[in-house]
Amino acid sequence: MERIHRIGSKTKGGRPRAVVVKLLCFKDCELIWENRRNLKGSRLFLEEHFAVEIQQKRFQLLPYLQSARKRGEKAFLAGDKLVVNGHQYNAEPSDLRSLQLRYGNTLERSQLDLETDNGPAVCFYGKHSPFSNYYWSPVEISGKKFNSNEHFYTCRKCQLADQPDLAFRAERARYPAEATAIGCPVKLENDLWIELMRSGLMAKFAQNSDLKQILLGMGDKLLAEASPIDLFWGTGCGLRSENLKKPSTWRGQNEMGKLLMQLRSEFRED
């Protein structure tokens, strides 16, 4: 081994922390990875650790991996590539278009255009919509880089609540959903939540021009996060719910959608 170190800070319960290992010989890595099934039934598990750039590409390819496996095809991720029945796909525009033709557009599963009682709307829910906090969109705020707005939001929320250990873990979480789980116990006043989210969303769309153009391209449509469980940020009804067409029946406040529409107006004025 060239290097080995633990991840995160010690917890009060003494829960074992994961370790990152860098081996001198790549063949040793392959041998360990090929035999990981031998750990089944034990308290140990292995997972690959990738650079941020590779994680972003894997994130784009993951839904097609799942679609291929549902069809019974032999598919797996190898680094930043998707292999389906022996054919390799990269996270490049040409390959992604080929995958969309073969398996369908992943955006359709997490975003809908529909007509509501308040006019045309775009409702979203899930990591594949660019409006979602779980969408992989690196941002830099106050000199720190975050892999998504959820990473920033949760990290900063934990800092304000004087929870430095949780903030450290949230910042380094592998996925946005993992950051959410880490910061879930932390509570703040609603006004602080909104201000934090607003600053993160501003950075997300200002620093990623493609996402900014998508937001502006929505015109005057109502934007709504169709979360069936989040009554603060979401509508309280899911993407397939008939109640989405009737905003007056929404159980949630849709604060995420409101913030996105405010930002859209501000970007227009600029």
Task: State the pLDDT at residue 97.
Answer: 78
pTM of the predicted model over 0.75: no
For the chain, give the mean pLDDT: 89
Beta carbons of 64 and 101 less than 8 angstroms apart: no
What is the reported pLDDT for 188? Answer: 84
Burial of 189 (0-12, 13-18, 19+ CB in 10 A): exposed
C-alpha–C-alpha distance, residues 223 and 246, integer Å: 13
Angle (nearest 5°) at CA 189 between 187 and 194 = 105
Helix (H, G, I), strand (E, B) or coil at 4: strand
Query: pLDDT for 49-92, tens place per residue?
Result: 777 778 778 878 888 898 899 899 999 998 899 999 999 999 88
Q: Which domains does the chain have, with CATH numbers?
A: 3-39 (no CATH), 52-104 (no CATH), 109-269 (1.10.357.40)
Instruction: Return the higher-pLDDT residue of 101 and 15.
Output: 101
Q: What are the structure tokens assigned to 114, written together? A: 């529909």
Q: How confident is the model at residue 102 (pLDDT cuts 50, 70, 90)?
A: confident
- From the list 30, 118, 109, the residue with the least C-alpha distance to 64 is 109
Return the H-helix or E-strand segment holding 5.
strand 3-6
| pLDDT tier for residue 13 given thresholds of 50, 70 and 90 | low
Question: Contact at 8 Å (CB) between 43 and 51?
Answer: no
> Distance from first CA to last CA of the chain, Å, rounded?
53
Residue 23 near residue 31, CB atoms below 8 Å: no
Computed on alpha carbons and rounded to an integer, the radius of gyration of the chain in Å comes to 21
Q: Provide the pLDDT for residue 115.
A: 94
Helix (H) or strand (E) holding 104: none
